[in-house]
């Protein structure tokens, strides 16, 4: 979490005084958000916010007679956003991380700086320092795909004797571990008794944009190869599935194709779009989703008993969720939904993990 200095309304004089006194870290906290500050020679400075639905941020203003630039931006008290600074000088524009903000995202496509409201608190389980469960490679020779597929599997601590274990098939599972602290969250939840000891198949696709959009080969690999293999190696109880973005699509699609296979689904910021194009650049990769979505809603009785949805309020998909959830709830009694003041990224999914997993596995 960013540590801001002072909850006051900033002014050019206030910012200049802070810089003169040795500005240690930014953004600065204001009475209703944050103030971005850049110190250096430039012709123009912008804040580039990575969240789709976050209000547009204007250019930073230069304090007269100085190389100090700043702008105040409203931000939800518990909100968090990712951003970069766009610094233009001599006709050249470059995107940089905020040099006085040490808070950085951990993401597969490069790091961003992070700004958070004063009431934002990171998950307490991030401080988990006592590893419990283990993760190991799990290779399966796949006739469906025509080659070996190597996933990973999480096994709870050796001292745990409460078998059979529930099994979660987590799409993009290795990325959840690397970018969302999934293992620390799982160890903590199991250790605190909030969820039962469980195994997790950390599914790793080869061609994600093809496999996770309702591809029947993906479902065949799960139901004909992965689940039988795991069940033969361990004593497995109820099975769940989940994922984020396209991983949520893969989970819902597989569950629809095999009614009764899963007890519940954890669907984080699912790419459940009803139309392509628009302001959020929904390209042809999502066309299968637009074609399948009406059937998922109309035949909601084919879906598992428990459907746990979450999405970021700054995510371009949140309006789709606000349409989908009521439509599903009219036909299905086990739908839960929460929104996080964040965007479409691993930090949002990380922050929703504790409550989403707890809701998914209640009474498991």
Given this model, what pLDDT does residue 255 score? 96
Rounded-to-integer distance, Cα 338 and Cα 283, Å: 26
What is the per-residue pLDDT across 226-254, written as a single tens digit (0 to 9) for each? 999 999 999 999 999 999 999 999 999 99
Are 189 and 357 contacting, i.e. CB atoms less than 8 angstroms apart?
yes
Average pLDDT for residues 120-145, to the nearest whole number?
91
Give the list of residues 6+ apart from residue 185 with CB closer than 8 angstroms, or none.
Answer: 123, 125, 128, 350, 353, 354, 357
CB-CB neighbours of 110 under 10 Å: 10
Are 315 and 348 contacting, i.e. CB atoms less than 8 angstroms apart?
yes
Give the list of residues 6+ apart from residue 325 with CB closer than 8 angstroms, or none.
Answer: 309, 335, 337
Rounded-to-integer distance, Cα 190 and Cα 170, Å: 17
Average pLDDT for residues 104-122, to the nearest whole number?
92
Q: Is 325 helix (H, G, I), strand (E, B) or coil?
A: helix
Q: Token pair of 324, please?
A: 């989908």
Q: What is the reported pTM?
A: 0.91
Given this model, what pLDDT does residue 12 score? 59
pLDDT category at 62 given cuts 50, 70, 90 is: very high
DSSP state of 178: H
Q: Where are the beta strands (DSSP E) in 90-247?
A: 92-96, 113-116, 134-142, 147-155, 165-171, 199-203, 236-244
- Residue 129 clears pLDDT 80, i.e. is over it: no
- Residue 207 clears pLDDT 50, i.e. is over it: yes
């Amino acid at each position: 979490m960013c540590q801001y200095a002072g909850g006051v309304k900033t002014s050019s004089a206030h910012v200049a005084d802070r810089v003169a006194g040795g500005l240690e870290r930014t953004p600065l906290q204001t009475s209703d958000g944050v103030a971005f500050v850049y110190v250096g020679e430039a012709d123009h400075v912008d804040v580039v916010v990575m969240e789709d639905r976050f209000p547009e941020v204007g250019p930073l203003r230069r304090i007269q007679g100085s190389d100090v630039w700043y702008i105040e931006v409203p931000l939800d008290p518990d909100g968090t956003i990712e951003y970069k600074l766009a610094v233009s000088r001599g006709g050249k524009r470059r995107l940089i991380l905020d040099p006085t903000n040490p808070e950085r995202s951990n993401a597969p496509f490069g790091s961003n700086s992070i700004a958070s409201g004063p009431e934002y608190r990171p998950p307490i389980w991030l401080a988990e320092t006592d590893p419990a469960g283990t993760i190991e490679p799990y290779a399966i020779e796949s006739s469906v795909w025509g080659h070996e597929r190597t996933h990973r599997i999480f096994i709870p601590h050796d001292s745990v004797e409460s078998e059979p274990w529930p099994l979660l098939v987590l799409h993009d599972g290795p990325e959840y571990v690397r970018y969302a602290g999934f293992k620390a969250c799982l160890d903590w939840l199991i250790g605190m008794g909030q969820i039962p000891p469980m195994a997790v198949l950390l599914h790793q696709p080869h061609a994600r944009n093809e496999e996770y959009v309702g591809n029947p080969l993906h479902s065949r690999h799960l139901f004909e190869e992965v689940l039988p293999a795991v069940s033969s190696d361990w004593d497995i109880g109820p099975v769940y599935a989940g994922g984020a973005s396209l991983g949520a699509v893969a989970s819902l699609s597989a569950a629809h194709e095999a009614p009764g296979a899963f007890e519940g689904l954890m669907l984080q910021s699912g790419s459940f779009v009803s139309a392509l194009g628009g302001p959020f650049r929904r390209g042809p990769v999502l066309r299968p989703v637009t074609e399948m979505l009406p059937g998922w809603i109309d035949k909601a009785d084919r879906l598992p008993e428990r459907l746990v949805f979450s999405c970021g309020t700054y995510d371009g998909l949140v309006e789709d969720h606000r349409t989908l959830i009521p439509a599903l709830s009219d036909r299905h009694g086990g739908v839960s939904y929460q929104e996080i003041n964040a965007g479409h990224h691993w930090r949002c999914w990380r922050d929703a993990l504790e409550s989403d997993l707890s809701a998914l596995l209640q009474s498991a």
